[in-house]
């Protein structure tokens, strides 16, 4: 664990109380429109609705007491697919490279295992989000599907999206 990770504390988000902090983190990514499928012009209400899919638990990452990242964890599907987790992550741009995203990822994997999930799946990973993809590949995820031209990137045009998977029984 790097020194930066040692200072990252993950805690459950408090609905209402932490909404402004979550919006501050999500806003640059949502308005840029280059990694999430949230409406770019949906404002705080739209971003929070996107970040709180049904059944999700939100978390916040604090670095030296400052809220710098957020995640959600939920079952990917209901019924027969409810043993597979789904998660999302977003960090403030100014903390890139300081271990916050890795701490959120590690937390979500640990939390998913503690909740009895057997795998984690990311349903729609924009192919141009290379830094995130590299992080997840290092954590043992693999690309199990490719959706050609499925994301309308504001600069790159139509780009691919990936489905990524990790078996949680692998212990990492």
- Predicted confidence at residue 146, as pLDDT, reads 98
170, 22, 49: which is closest to 104 by C-alpha? 22
- Predicted confidence at residue 96, as pLDDT, reads 87
pLDDT tens track, the chain, 172 positions:
344 445 899 999 998 999 999 999 999 999 999 999 999 999 999 999 999 988 999 999 999 889 999 999 999 999 999 999 999 999 999 998 889 999 999 999 999 999 999 999 999 999 999 999 999 999 999 999 999 999 999 999 999 999 999 999 876 6
Number of Cβ within a 10 Å radius of residue 37: 14
33, 95, 87, 103: which is closest to 55 by C-alpha? 87
> Mind listing the domains of the chain with CATH numbers?
3-170 (3.40.630.30)
CB 95 within 8 A of CB 62: no
CA atoms lying within 13 Å on the CB side of residue 3: 0
Reading across the β-sheet that carries 8-12, which strands appear in turn?
8-12, 57-63, 66-75, 84-91, 119-126, 157-167, 142-153
CB 72 within 8 A of CB 52: yes
CA atoms lying within 13 Å on the CB side of residue 44: 8
- Predicted confidence at residue 1, as pLDDT, reads 35
């Amino acid at each position: 664990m790097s020194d930066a990770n040692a200072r990252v504390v993950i805690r459950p988000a408090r609905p209402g109380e932490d909404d402004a902090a979550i919006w501050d983190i999500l806003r640059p990514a949502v308005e840029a429109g280059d990694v999430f499928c949230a409406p770019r012009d949906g404002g705080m209400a739209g971003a929070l609705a996107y970040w709180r899919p049904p059944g999700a638990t939100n978390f916040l990452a604090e670095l030296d007491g400052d809220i710098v990242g957020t995640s959600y964890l939920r079952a990917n599907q209901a019924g027969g697919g409810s043993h597979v987790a789904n998660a999302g992550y977003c960090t403030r741009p100014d903390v890139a490279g300081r271990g916050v995203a890795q701490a959120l990822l590690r937390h979500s994997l640990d939390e998913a295992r503690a909740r009895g999930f057997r795998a984690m799946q990311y349903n729609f990973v924009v192919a141009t989000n290379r830094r995130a993809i590299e992080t997840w590949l290092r954590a043992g995820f693999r690309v199990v599907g490719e959706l050609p031209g499925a994301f309308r990137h504001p600069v790159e045009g139509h780009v691919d999206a990936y489905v990524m998977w990790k078996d949680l029984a692998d212990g990492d």
